[in-house]
Chain A
Amino acid sequence: MRGYNPLDPTAALTGIAKQMQRCFRSRYNPLDPTAALTDRLIIDQIGRSSRVIDLGCGDGRLLCRLRDELGCSVQGVELDHREVIEAISKGMPVIQSDLDRGLKEIPEQSFDFAVLSQTLQQVRHPQELLNEMLRIARRAVILVPNYGHWWIRVQILLHGRTPITGSLPYDWYNTPNLHFLSMIDFRELCERMKFKIIHEIPIIRGSAARNAWAANVRADNALYVLEHA
């Protein structure tokens, strides 16, 4: 299927790439937003008894832990109807809303933390959402995939095509991911928007690796805590 292509002779290296893919199958791991590990990383950023809003809260699992483990006062926002009902079933307060349509009904500075996990790359206007997050909350906790990871670079170089991996099982035309950013990209955006990065935590193969060497090449994901400068 991906044989010699006059448009891109390097695509003939597909065979080699496939070999590499087999060797390094688990090399690139965007975190599953539903994984317990993801929750742990986020929970570590949040202070006891604080007021937290989770944007894209799913079934409210993270909020449940924040309430029970840290005594937080919590609020969820979720678009999917089934997930909203799941969250209600866990006793979580949740507002059904599309993040692309803004957070207008949420008053200014009504939360200590606004959490956005593996979603920023999927919204239509990431800048507006970041602004909204720091309007409604004092701090924003954001988990994003790092598309600067070396495995993705290798894939693009060899195939000349949008990378498809086990963890990114989408074709370019049906992916929920609208924006592809690296850690460098995100930092630059924060600088331009005058957000202060309080914490930047690269996540390499599932573990937090603060101050990691060559993080933009090695990290699958990165967690940021932002404030207004």
Chain B
Amino acid sequence: MTAEIAPPDGSDDAQSVGIVQTQFVRLFEPPSILTLESGFQLGPINVAFETYGELSADRDNAIFVCHALTGDAHVAGKHSADSRKSGWWDGLVGPGRALDTSKYFIICANVLGGCQGTTGPSCPHPETGQPYGLRFPFITVGDIVEVHVALVKKLGIDKLLAIVGGSLGGMQVLDWVARYPDMIRSAVCLASAGKLSAQGIAFNAVGRRAITTDPQFQNGDYYGLDPSKYGEVGPRAGLALARMVAHITYLSEASIERKFGRDLQHSDHLAYDLHSETEFKIESYLHYQGKRFIERFDANSYLYLTRAMDYFDLAQRYGSLRNALGQTEARFLITSYHSDWLFPSSQSREIVSALLETHRHVTYLELESVFGHDSFLLEIQQLEELVTPLLRETYRRYRKTH
């Protein structure tokens, strides 16, 4: 398996993976379609994924990256020489970086129910040819993992050197370990939890309400002639509002204060005008985030994926966290962030306790950062210091004993 990597001179950064392409594969073709946790059946399922680095002859150097709620398969590199933006975790993936593409084979796939290439509500229903909309079956974090697993197997890989993810990605990591304890050698779970907190459900509820009460929502059937252009139609205002609320939960009081304070956007003076909706810099920033989000995300996917998060509760599904996590020999790296109030450290500590109780190999750090929940995406160097030795040591030990 080779990655779609441009020659080094194609990049201005020696540690970048360079130009990459999203690949597609069709899985769960009838009759072997996927039975979802809800009991519904779904297939075929298209999966969008990217890979970086080369799979070793022994197929023992593969690392799967699980993206968070609104991420995609494009973790690193650029899609073309003139792309302005690199992948969402570019600083972590590349030659010489923590997920070192000169040593490891990195895979990332868009999640089931998403809108960045993998089958989701904006895709055509195989029988009608019309977009699924709300006829798309209910999905869970477990279903997302099942599709990832099928992709990994399709790539000819039986065991993963590591699975890595933050937030919803971290939930996938934990669920994966619970479902396939023998498939994983190390699990990196960042700013995540064994269940979504009531507070998390509360914010998701507000986001969904913003979407479903938008008159343009039309019960999910808002797609135009080209459903892939979901950004141009549908509950744009509702989705933007959902994103604005959610975005606040990804920040911290300190980071907002530091970045924006009470600064005004357009003037040095208060306008005394209620029509001015972007008077403070923080308002303007949130509006901008909302606007950018609707260009790239489908409102129906937002409904499905936030619901999948709400339903995630490992202890409830497996009887206890101990039962869920106690079956694996994988080494765990768990991190939480001091300023993260959406996935507070207490939730990571619950996971750590369950791992200690079942005598698993666990490393845990509560890291300092002002960036709140988003810290795991932003504090690359802090993460690299931990992930690099963990992977090196896990790989070395594994190769020695096999």
Which positions in A face B, CB cutoff 8 Å?
51, 73, 75, 84-85, 88-91, 93-96, 104-107, 110
Contact = CB atoms under 8 A, between A and B. Distances in A.
Given A75-B356, A96-B364, A107-B357, 18 more contacts: A84-B365, A88-B333, A88-B363, A88-B386, A88-B389, A89-B392, A89-B393, A90-B393, A91-B393, A91-B396, A93-B332, A93-B363, A94-B363, A95-B365, A96-B366, A106-B353, A106-B356, A110-B357
A93 B361 contact: yes
B258 interface: no
Query: 3 closest pairs, A vs B, by CB?
Result: A89-B389, A91-B393, A107-B357
B331 interface: yes
Nearest to A105: B349
Interface residues of B, number: 25
A107 B365 contact: no
Contact of B389 (A73, A75, A85, A93): A85
Nearest to A82: B385
Contacts of A90: 393
Given A93-B331, A95-B352, A106-B356, A88 B366 contact: no
B397 interface: yes
Contact of A95 (B331, B350, B363, B386): B363
A85 B356 contact: no
Contacts of B364: 95-96, 105
Contacts of A94: 363
15 contacts: A73-B359, A89-B389, A89-B393, A91-B394, A91-B396, A93-B331, A93-B362, A93-B363, A95-B365, A96-B364, A96-B365, A105-B353, A106-B356, A107-B357, A110-B356
Nearest to B354: A107
> In the complex, which of the residues B357, B364, B392 has the most CB atoms of chain A within 10 Å of its own CB atom?
B364
Given A93-B362, A94-B363, A95-B364, A88 B393 contact: yes
Nearest to A104: B349
A110 B393 contact: no
Contacts of A93: 331-332, 361-363
B16 to A, nearest CB: 25
A167 B362 CA distance: 35
A75 B352 CA distance: 12
A90 B389 CA distance: 8
Chain A facing B: main interface SS: mixed
A73 B366 CA distance: 23
Nearest to B387: A88
A75 B356 CA distance: 9
Given A93-B361, A93-B362, A95-B363, A105 B393 contact: no
B217 to A, nearest CB: 43
Q: Give the residue among B353, B359, B365, B392 with the most A Cβ atoms within 10 A.
A: B365
Interface in B328-368: 331-333, 349-350, 352-353, 356-357, 359, 361-366
A54 B310 CA distance: 38
Contacts of A104: 349
A153 B345 CA distance: 47
B390 interface: yes
Contacts of A85: 385-386, 389
Nearest to B397: A91
A105 B331 CA distance: 18
A91 B350 CA distance: 23
Nearest to B346: A105
A73 B331 CA distance: 13
A89 B333 CA distance: 13
Contacts of A73: 359
A95 B352 CA distance: 9
Max count, chain B CB within 10 A of own CB: residue among A84, A94, A96, A105: A105
Contacts of B397: 91
B362 A51 contact: no
Nearest to B390: A88
B265 to A, nearest CB: 38
A202 to B, nearest CB: 34
A75 B332 CA distance: 12
A73 B359 CA distance: 8
A105 B361 CA distance: 15
B223 to A, nearest CB: 47
Contacts of A84: 363, 365
A51 B386 contact: no
Nearest to B392: A89
Nearest to B365: A96
The residue in B332, B356, B361, B366 that gathers the most chain A C-beta atoms within 10 A of its C-beta is B356
Contacts of B359: 51, 73, 110
Interface in B286-325: none
B335 to A, nearest CB: 9
